Structure 1
Amino acid sequence: MTKEVGQPSGPRPGFRSSGGGTHEVPGAALSYVEKGRGLPLLILGSAVYYPRTFPASLHGSCRLIFVDLRHFAGKLDTGRVAITLETYCEDIEAMRSRLGLERFVLVGHSHHGNVALAYAKRYPHRVSHLVLIGTPPCDVRGTLEAGHRYWLTHASSARKAVLACNQARLDEAALAELPPGEMFVARYVADGPRIWYDPHYDAAPLWQGVPIDTEAFTAFRDFFVDYEFNWRLEDLSAPVLVVMGRHDYVVPPTLWESRLPDLPPVTYRLFEQSGHTPQLEEPEAFARLLLEWLGRDEP
């Protein structure tokens, strides 16, 4: 277990990428940005949100490449496109080709980790290491039920009071007038006590400028309704690192603790002062863990 005091600092003021671009696929324009040099890490999800959450201390040893998935990407008016988990895997493969990557470390946070696993199972020769952060090892229903039980059992009364206060402040009539993407962000920010170690943390700045394609987002969520989390060593031999937060009440660590005996061997680390996003909440401890696991120099 990793024990290190740390608080999420939010996006760095004046953040600028050192490189990037856009790659068009049917129905979407996927952006990517790069930071640092060294071992390539392909980080799935959003080229806007995720660069704000990964520690800068990794830049000296790793080439961090943040790529959009469709639900956090610009939408192209090219007609209706069927969106499946296979579509997402092919998008990642197209981006890999565009970037000229042969083998790389694949990183996914939350449900983006489930997408990362799906890609790694389809293209195992491309993935040297797989990193799953706050990723649920089961379907949506199982995750929601486990999160509810974990919240009732482990959340402090003070944390529960902050959530109740946040929810009371939500104006449902005003929310109904917002575009769906803005409504999602407002609810996400209000749900902070379930997501962050610091129950008062304001995640709104992390979402500034993030495009949200609500149609793709709905399809993305549906991937995991009848979802089975598994892999076989003969199909995916890349080492797997799983990072969870003790105070993650959305994807509770108890999910992994119950699944580990049934899965191929993984390196599992639990961060004691993190919620759903350990790379932001305990950045230096996360960087040390990741680099040590990858066999790189410490930051």
Structure 2
Amino acid sequence: MTEAPAGFVSRTATCNGVGVHYFEGGEGPPVVLVHGLGSSAGLEFRFNLEPLAERHRVIAPDLPGFGQSDKPQLAYTMPFFVETLGTFLEEVGITRTAVLGISFGGRVVLGHALRQPERVEKLILVDSLGLGTPRRVVAYRLLLMRGIGELMMTSTATALRRLSPTTVRRFWGWYLNRPQSVDHILSDSRIADHGRMMNAPGYQAAYLATLRSLAARSSLRDGVALDRELRQLSMPVLLVWGRHDHLFPPSHALAAAAVLPNARVEIFEEAGHTPQMEEPERFNWLVLDFLAQAA
């Protein structure tokens, strides 16, 4: 999704010299949504932006390197993304807000909350990186290999341009746990949008640089120790997880909730890694209900 959803505007903020694109819409208490690795605000939150904006001022940035944001050659490390998020919030005039992050974006907002807890009113982590060691996925291991990773990215980008949407859905179906919904979730337009993003200059290099910077960490947890740092977060935390997540099992959420002072876990029994897409109505209701509760 490159065009702004109904009721939203498309804007760009400059953060330390990098243009960060974002969608903004709605009125009310702010909530900031941060997408996962290789995605964008429009793709990740296609089914969530407008429903959440019925009660909130919703701001959804494209992280540097992805979506419509700048894709410069730089070190795409976790500290860089965390710092950029903090700078972005300052640029758009938000001093304190609820933040929601999915997968890689969950680790970014978690890092922001650990770094500046006074600026985070509530924290929502969805199938998040950073709470345990990910399961081994062969495709990601191959992407880490120099040369092979570049070839895989180029081949995938070409396939998204040339293959039929039906064929693409067969390959991407493993990411979801709802085969009956794959046509709706991976619509022709979404596949086309993702193909355009993957073929954008700088995207593939940014993706691989980010993935490889994470892999340089021994456990892909980037220094987050459950027993040392999470217990410092006193704000309300909602952990939303798909039972069939192929990357981060629900045990990650349960372990984090046991340490966090003020947390609850919601498991989507029929979902995989993307509950916000697989069960959007339930997801949107859950988030709105959590945000409406007194902090």
Q: How would you bin the TM-score normalised by the shorter chain? A: 0.7 to 0.9
Match of 2:75 among 79, 82, 85: 82
CA distance in 2, matches of 1:12, 1:21: 12
5 Å-filtered alignment, 1:86-235, equals: 86-138=79-131, 142-145=133-136, 176=151, 179=154, 182=157, 191-199=171-179, 201=182, 203=186, 204-205=191-192, 207=194, 209-210=196-197, 211=200, 213-221=203-211, 222-223=213-214, 225-226=217-218, 227-229=222-224, 230=226, 232=229, 235=232
Where in structure 2 are there 5+ consecutive unaligned residues? 139-149, 162-166
Q: Residues 77 and 210 of structure 2 are in contact (CA less than 8 Å); yes or no, is this contact kept in structure 1?
A: yes
CA distance in 1, matches of 2:34, 2:124: 11
Q: Secondary structure at the match of 2:12?
A: strand
Where in structure 1 are there 5+ consecutive unaligned residues? 1-10, 149-174
Superimposed CA distance per residue, residues 233-256 of structure 1 (whole angstroms, 9 cap, x where no aligned partner): 674221111001123223222333
CA distance in 2, matches of 1:233, 1:252: 18
Q: Secondary structure at the match of 2:289?
A: helix
CA distance in 2, matches of 1:184, 1:135: 28
Question: TM-score scaled by structure 2?
Answer: 0.72
Displacement of 1:19 after TM fit?
1.6
CA distance in 2, matches of 1:249, 1:177: 20
Q: Quick check: 200-209 or 46-55, which moved more?
A: 200-209
Displacement of 1:178 after TM fit?
6.7
Assess, with a 3 A threshold, how the Cα gap between structure 1 residues 232 and 265 changes in structure 2: closer, same or farther: farther
Q: Residues 32 and 47 of structure 1 are in contact (CA less than 8 Å); yes or no, is this contact kept in structure 2?
A: yes
Q: Residues 244 and 269 of structure 1 are in contact (CA less than 8 Å); yes or no, is this contact kept in structure 2?
A: yes
Match of 1:242 among 226, 239, 243: 239
Q: Residues 3 and 10 of structure 2 are in contact (CA less than 8 Å); yes or no, is this contact kept in structure 1?
A: no
| CA RMSD across the alignment | 3.6
Q: Secondary structure at the match of 1:179?
A: helix
Identity, % of aligned pairs?
A: 26
Displacement of 1:208 after TM fit?
5.2
Displacement of 1:272 after TM fit?
2.0
